[in-house]
Amino acid sequence: MNRDTSPDLHYLSGFGNEFASEALPGALPVGQNSPQKAPYGLYAELLSGTAFTMTRSELRRTWLYRIRPSALHPRFERLARQPLGGPLGGINPNRLRWSPQPIPAEPTDFIEGWLPMVANAAAEKPAGVSIYIYRANRSMERVFFNADGELLLVPEQGRLRIATELGVMEVEPLEIAVIPRGMKFRVELLDGQARGYIAENHGAPLRLPDLGPIGSNGLANPRDFLTPVAHYEEAEGPVQLVQKFLGEHWACELQHSPLDVVAWHGSNVPYKYDLRRLNTL
């Protein structure tokens, strides 16, 4: 490895400024961050220090134009000598990729088919999110509610018919659905089997972001979010009611359907959205 040992060092002064520097003339693109062909055949990369949704005054990010991409490296191996002591967890820093999860061979309903993928908070914390893959090959005969957060469902395969306390909605791939924390529902499979993703939001309810310089229109328009109308079940007989509480499932048996709401009003509602309606500007 060749290193530049030149003592002639230069610096940029300031704190929290927007800087720019190039070691070769013309290496820094003008008027754009990620050109299709960067000068000198360099690779454009973005190093983010904050979320991309951060306000401009708090934003920290730097565009890099390098000879080889950062992703060009083999697998990391854990060093035998750990000067900082034992590990803080069982996670390693290597890149991961998951193939599509198979639909279970044995009968599996919606709540039996959750596969945890990643989480950044415990269920008892009032913030953070947990991500799951759901897989199912039979409709639910029981009713479920989640005390740990609201659920964002993203179907990848198979249509879902979701009967909630407030009404019934059908969701297909390229659509999403949100079910509030604590709301009872049942998922029926319209195509025999289904697979998709679940984002469990442990924090404040989801909301639409401010549009800012986009103006008064754009992104997801409120009119495109659909909430089901009142629909009730008057069935009697044993029904298992399952709740997810602090990451565990608890159940009791009712002698009637809990989806028996005849009328309602309010703003804590389930809804669906067609992602094809998203308008970038």
Tokens of 130: 């947990």
The rounded distance, in Å, linking the Cα atoms of 171 and 169 is 7
69-78, 157-166, 266-275, range with the lowest pLDDT:
69-78
Question: Apex CA 70: angle with CA 90 and CA 62, to 5°?
Answer: 100
Domain boundaries, the chain: 23-73, 114-277
Residue 55 — pLDDT band, cuts 50, 70, 90? confident
Question: Apex CA 273: angle with CA 139 and CA 165, to 5°?
Answer: 50
195 burial via Cβ count (<10 Å: 0-12, 13-18, 19+): buried
What pLDDT shows up at residue 280?
Answer: 80
Average confidence score pLDDT of the chain: 91
What pLDDT shows up at residue 216?
Answer: 81
The rounded distance, in Å, linking the Cα atoms of 50 and 70 is 19
Mean pLDDT of 88-115: 87
What pLDDT shows up at residue 105?
Answer: 93
Which DSSP state fits 61? E
Q: Is pLDDT above 70 for 86? A: no
Answer yes or no: CATH 3.40.50.300 is held by domain 114-277. Answer: no
What pLDDT shows up at residue 106?
Answer: 95
Tokens of 240: 């298992």
